[in-house]
Structure 1
Amino acid sequence: MNKYNKFRIEWDCRRGMLELDKVIMPFFQQHFDQLPTEKKEVFLRLLAATDLQLFSWFFNKVPAPDLELQQMITHIHNTLNLTD
């Protein structure tokens, strides 16, 4: 049995802010399956954050509360070629 319920994760990727939808959903759809298990777990932890937290981390450059989350945010930025 697959540990990751893709339908549930996709639902959790849907955010209340369009800016976040344009970052999180494409990353999930295009790159989640290729992540190693430990990175998938970090991505799921990222999805547990509020929209305001995510917006601050992705767009206001506020550091995430732990190194793993910050590394995932940087990875998403780099993977999607997001500009500063």
Structure 2
Amino acid sequence: MTKYNKLRIEWDCRRGMLELDKVIMPFYQQHFDGLSECQKQSFIRLLACTDLQLFSWFFNRTPAIDTELQAMVDYIHQTLQLSN
């Protein structure tokens, strides 16, 4: 089982856009520990994306080119029941 630097992940969850902060941080705080190892890796990869990419995927519903990242975006949408 991979160990994760929780402080680093929490820091990376802080974004430059309030809209993203209201999605990413709550998901991390409430659901990260329950994710599979594969999902955790996808979430961490998601955090490496730019705010503009994330905003487009979460709010404009533009699909991510990477299928694993898109699956994580979809999972976050379902989990938090985001509407758009």
> In the alignment, is residue 24 of structure 1 matched against residue 46 of structure 2?
no
Query: Over the residues paired in the alignment, what is the CA RMSD in angstroms?
Result: 1.3
| 1:29 shift after superposition | 0.1
TM score, norm. by length of structure 2? 0.96
After superposition, residues 10-49 of structure 1 pair within 5 angstroms as 10-49=10-49
SS in 2 for 1:83: coil
Residue 81 of structure 1: CA displacement?
1.0
Q: Which consecutive segments of 4 or more residues in structure 1 shift more than 2 A?
A: none
Q: How many residues align?
A: 84
Counterpart-to-counterpart distance in 2, 1:11 and 1:52:
18
CA distance in 2, matches of 1:55, 1:30: 20
Distance 1:81 1:35 in 2: 17
In 1, the alpha carbon distance for the partners of 2:32 and 2:66 equals: 20
* 2:59 corresponding residue in structure 1: 59
Percent same amino acid among aligned pairs?
A: 71
Corresponding residue of 1:7? 7
**Aligned equivalents of 1:65, 1:53: Cα separation in 2:** 11
Partner of 1:50: 50
Consecutive unaligned residues in structure 1, runs of 5 or more: none
Normalising by the residue count of structure 1, what TM-score does the alignment of the two structures yield? 0.96
